[in-house]
Structure 1
Amino acid sequence: MTTPPDPPEHPLPPASSTTVYRASGRRTRGKNGKKRRSPLRRILLALLLVLVVVVAYAVGVGIWAVGQVQRTDALSDYSGRPAAGKGTNWLLVGSDTRKNLTKEQQQELHVGSDSGDETDTIIVLHYGASGPYLVSIPRDSYVSIPGHGKNKINASYALGGPALLSRTVEQATGLRLDHYAEVNFAGFVDVVDALGGVEVCVPKDLSDSYSGADFKAGCQTMNGTQALAYARDRHSYANGDLGRVQAQQQLIAAIADKALSPGTLLAPWKLLPFLSASLDALTVDRGAGLLNLGKLGLEMDDISHGDGSTTTVPIAAEPSVPGVGDVVEWNASEAAELFSALRADTTIPTFGSN
């Protein structure tokens, strides 16, 4: 009789079992026959899913934003245009147009009903290896306007819109502008309101019936209407428009800081209304793409956190010119030194008046 073989040391499981063993003995299938994923694999899949959602969200927002951006022919080639320097120059403009404002809005915002278009804010933003720098140009600066003789620089916008303003700034400063961005009254208010207001530290008590400014000294949250009044007030300062320039620089930094904070960027219900308000308010040159606008925002955020600096074109005098009114004359030598540094993308000089 044949002797039966000895039973195996590790017997096979019953045929009805769905549990499968690897050589290592680790079980990879559960009782229902499905593979069991390792914790690490689950984490990697979750991270991949989050990444896909974030990328899709960013791409979708980008595509939507590109379609919303308003364009204008602000920059053009012309004979005698300054040569390109180092770094990038943006011309940032706050327009006081009242075309789209109702009478009620004009009264609420204290902007009057003038039909002409001028600019309350004219700023050059420079960035590159040096900077970023915000250089404010007083709106009453007495300069040559191509084809129109000498006048206040903001009159160039009324005479020829963004294109003539850009050309006037280029010829007055010797800087070649790379991009142009403009925000109007109503748009500015909507942008600040979309952010839920911005934190501003008012240096002293302000009261101005012309702009509607009425603030006590100290840090406070301003809504859109209040922020516009703060940006337009020049009667509360002994140096008039120059005091307003500093307030405008302060507000720009506050808006950039709030807009690029994690509380805004990581919350779609906050970010999308802000982007919508910004794109409705913003007009840029035809060459400015989404990456350019993103870079603009990042540089403004750097300034809000103390990287870079803000300054104003050095002033020599503030005479009154017949037929023009009170104007601002630049300190020719100091202004030339400032613009030379910007063209070369080097550290800008510091002047006593700044």
Structure 2
Amino acid sequence: MSLRAITVLSFFLIVSACGGMPLDDRTKPDENNLKSSRMNPADADSVDGIKPEKIYLLVGIDSRGEPDSRSDAILLARYDRAGNRMKLASIMRDSYVKIPGYNNGYNKINMSYYLGGTKLLKQTIYENFHIKADHVATIDFQGFIQLVDLLAPEGIKANIKPEMIQDMSLEATKGEQVLHGDEILKYVRFRHDSESDFGRVKRQQEVLLQLKDIMYERLYSVDGIFTLPHVIKETFALTDTDMGVKELAELGSIMLFHQIEDVSTLRIPVEGSFLDKSYPHSGAVLQINKEENKRALINFFGE
């Protein structure tokens, strides 16, 4: 996976998810078709008086402005306000899943975005894993580069492998280095080693956690409260989300008083739950054990 979604995760997720807004009816596949069965938010189950939290879908787009593109990074996140914890699950783009309405039935999960955008991607995730995303945010290459530099102007630490330098044309030496937007994009996109896409996921989550810490350091500084409105405005301009500026601003202010103390991560497919396969219509894929991975996601998010 690449890091495009990290731009959203580094701010949209940290800001939006920290809001802890009540969730209504996360486990319904299509909001338009199930309006009559929607649950009243006031009737939702709660723990110690706190409503279940929303789940956010963050999508990194493999594009530099082209009209047709695929989702190169797919992440689900949830903030548990009761425990002041964040949960982050990465779904690997080559996961072989059933795509609703698709002629061949199954393909890589990133094909669902290519065929039907975020709407079909959300439906695909629900039908395969029984997890419904409440809000979505997407971003492409250029948006990522600009937003990482906005959020972390002093750069991000990364452990550079020798093979990364030549493969990604990085202007860096091996070992721990401080990288910026374009370099970080190359760093997380790298996959030509023994870890392949699994290494991408690990680096993606690694950079996310650094960005989270950097954001908190900035926002809890003397001028943090004055910086937040500008950061929200710029972030909103660089991302495509179904949340409005006002809601992001409100959630951002809540974040200042609810610093995340613990972050749990998960990778789908989980270890030992997939096989490397290849099909004429899709190429190399990760053929997952659907039930095992569905259980893993449901248990992870506390459903």
TM over 0.5: yes
Indicate which of 23, 40, 55 corresponds to 1:89.
Answer: 55
Please report how far the alpha carbon of residue 254 of structure 1 lies from its aligned counterpart in structure 2 after TM superposition. Answer: 1.9
Mapping of residues 171-320 of structure 1, within 5 Å: 171-194=127-150, 195-202=152-159, 204-207=161-164, 211-213=168-170, 216-235=173-192, 237-262=193-218, 266-267=222-223, 274-286=231-243, 289-290=247-248, 293-294=251-252, 302=260, 307-313=262-268, 314=270, 315-320=273-278
Which stretch shows the higher mean deviation, 86-95 or 212-221? 212-221
Please report how far the alpha carbon of residue 324 of structure 1 lies from its aligned counterpart in structure 2 after TM superposition. Answer: 0.8
Mapping of residues 124-203 of structure 1, within 5 Å: 124-128=76-80, 129=82, 131-148=85-102, 149-194=105-150, 195-202=152-159
Q: 1:213 to 1:172 in 2, by over 3 A?
A: farther
Q: SS state of the match for residue 164, structure 2?
A: strand
Q: 1:197 to 1:182 in 2, by over 3 A?
A: farther
Per-residue CA deviations over 1:255-290 (Å, capped at 9, x if unaligned) read: 222223137864378656644432221221257822
Q: 1:156 to 1:270 in 2, by over 3 A?
A: same
Q: SS state of the match for residue 188, structure 1?
A: helix
Please report how far the alpha carbon of residue 192 of structure 1 lies from its aligned counterpart in structure 2 after TM superposition. Answer: 1.8
Indicate which of 294, 299, 302 corresponds to 1:341.
Answer: 299
Q: Which has the higher contact order (CA 8 A, sep 6+)?
A: 2
CA–CA distance in 1 between the matches of 2:164 and 2:137?
30
Please report how far the alpha carbon of residue 308 of structure 1 lies from its aligned counterpart in structure 2 after TM superposition. Answer: 2.4
Q: SS state of the match for residue 225, structure 1?
A: helix
Amino acid at match of 1:312: R
Count of equivalent residues: 253
Amino acid at match of 2:136: Y
Please report how far the alpha carbon of residue 210 of structure 1 lies from its aligned counterpart in structure 2 after TM superposition. Answer: 6.2
Task: Identify the residue that residue 64 of structure 2 maps to in structure 1.
Answer: 98
Preserved CA contact (<8 Å) 2:122 2:133: yes
Unaligned runs of 5+ in 2: 1-28, 46-51
Q: SS state of the match for residue 294, structure 1?
A: helix
CA–CA distance in 2 between the matches of 1:298 and 1:205?
39
Please report how far the alpha carbon of residue 216 of structure 1 lies from its aligned counterpart in structure 2 after TM superposition. Answer: 4.3
Q: SS state of the match for residue 133, structure 2?
A: coil
CA–CA distance in 2 between the matches of 1:205 and 1:82?
53
Amino acid at match of 1:89: I
Please report how far the alpha carbon of residue 244 of structure 1 lies from its aligned counterpart in structure 2 after TM superposition. Answer: 0.5
Unaligned runs of 5+ in 1: 1-74, 100-113, 346-354
Q: 1:240 to 1:213 in 2, by over 3 A?
A: farther
Q: 1:212 to 1:272 in 2, by over 3 A?
A: farther
Per-residue CA deviations over 1:21-47 (Å, capped at 9, x if unaligned) read: xxxxxxxxxxxxxxxxxxxxxxxxxxx
Q: 1:309 to 1:216 in 2, by over 3 A?
A: farther
CA–CA distance in 2 between the matches of 1:309 and 1:138?
17
Structure 1 residue ranges (4+ consecutive) displaced by more than 6 angstroms after TM superposition: 80-85, 295-301
Q: 1:275 to 1:299 in 2, by over 3 A?
A: same
Per-residue CA deviations over 1:52-83 (Å, capped at 9, x if unaligned) read: xxxxxxxxxxxxxxxxxxxxxxx951558999
Q: 1:197 to 1:162 in 2, by over 3 A?
A: farther
Preserved CA contact (<8 Å) 1:256 1:301: no
Larger Rg: 1
Preserved CA contact (<8 Å) 1:202 1:215: no
Q: SS state of the match for residue 281, structure 2?
A: coil
CA–CA distance in 1 between the matches of 2:217 and 2:294?
36
CA–CA distance in 2 between the matches of 1:234 and 1:299?
38
Amino acid at match of 2:265: T
Task: Identify the residue that residue 31 of structure 2 maps to in structure 1.
Answer: 77
Q: 1:96 to 1:165 in 2, by over 3 A?
A: same
Please report how far the alpha carbon of residue 229 of structure 1 lies from its aligned counterpart in structure 2 after TM superposition. Answer: 0.6
Please report how far the alpha carbon of residue 294 of structure 1 lies from its aligned counterpart in structure 2 after TM superposition. Answer: 2.6
